[in-house]
Structure 1
């Protein structure tokens, strides 16, 4: 079985669509995190006393927001390398240290995205459970929070696919 980064003399990949799926995973991660932040930032509820409830009122949602921002930055840094790899059929930087860095950075990014998605889902479920139907506007806010959290989870799964790709780039 050929390794993912093996090409014949004409530069044609001898295996699967590895470079395309690597780039696609990065792009899905980026789009998912952008949508997650967009929905999270626009979700607010104004109570009768004039107080506006936003994601800033909950630590779990702030953690989710900042991890998503970090994830967008990291993914934006990785996309040019994935594009180059897809177009040229070779790595821009062939250094073992760089490939190892990508491997561990992808693993760290998965952990951050997974913990923030878990924290947001957990906080939402707990607050909904204890607030009950006593505060309908809070229930509406929390119901909408499921949307960005789900997109964050999709971004985490796409990042996991990128992580598998980065592990396959390491020399055997």
Structure 2
């Protein structure tokens, strides 16, 4: 799911010229695989400007990329509390929830992202992926409960193809 995190990055970073250089430098470090230095620079910036939403968002992305999911989740949760009108933090929370297998919470977060911005394509795509995973689980459970159901193998095959997952 980390790819979902990157999908939301661009829309969040419309910042003023005075801050653009620092944001651009953190993004440059991230893009060149220097996640640790990028995170340190983001945290240094936020020590002086703790309310800066784009840098807070970048910090969340960097934490997620550093496999510090609990901290990233906290960053995105605070962002949705402070800026409920922004869809990107909801999207990234959903990515973290989905990566942990919590598709119900992922769906709820993506529903919020779509409510915040009905034109946010990444949230719609991610919602489709989450719904497909939920369908896969439901069909798998149905097959456990009723192994003789002839319709289920075909449905499972289609959902697995959609998700790019091989059959077990």
| TM-score interval (norm. to shorter) | 0.3 to 0.5
Q: Could you state the TM-score of these two structures normalised by the residue count of structure 1? A: 0.39
Structure number with greater CO (CA < 8 Å, separation at least 6) is 1
Q: Could you state the TM-score of these two structures normalised by the residue count of structure 2? A: 0.39
The structure with more radius of gyration: 1
